[in-house]
Amino acid sequence: MAKILIAYYSRRGENYVNGAIKNLALGNTEVVAAKIKALLPQADVFQIDTTYEYSKSYMTCIEEAKKELREKARPEVKNPLPGIEQYDTIILGYSNWWGTMPMVCYTFLESYDFTGKTIIPFCTNEGSGMGSSVRFIKQLCPSATVLSGISIHGAEAQQADREARQIADMAR
């Protein structure tokens, strides 16, 4: 049986949801990651996080994210995994920030050797889909098999059971 890792980055607190700023107890990506974990109880879960906190203000946070993208920043991962050698499949979840993944996801992908592994991306967003993230994952992990991924409308994360099943089925 393949060993599976669900790694995700998610923003709690102020988020843009269906045209309005809302305060979320759990980030949309975190909600979907939990749904996938329920379907794959044997999978390990790793929350990708930075060593610093983004602004609690959504509007300020998106400016911080834009600056990181412009600068090609590589924020440090808080409590990084010691390795991923034991995993065959990595389900990678993230929000779409400015057409791609949050820059800490780049740091995560650049920190390990994904040779021979399968990466299944999923992205929560408010209408921009996967953006260019899959292309960047393929560039960062050229020796991995990177699937096309699943785009999930963030406002519908609580109801994303079908999408979670699709991702779990890809990982099996």
Say what the pTM is.
Answer: 0.97
Class of domain 4-171: alpha beta
pLDDT at 39: 98
pLDDT in tens, 37-71: 999 999 999 999 999 999 999 999 999 999 999 99
**CA dist., res. 149 & res. 66, Å (int):** 23
Please answer whether residues 12 and 53 qualify as being in contact, where contact means their C-beta atoms are separated by less than 8 angstroms: no
Domain ranges of the chain: 4-171
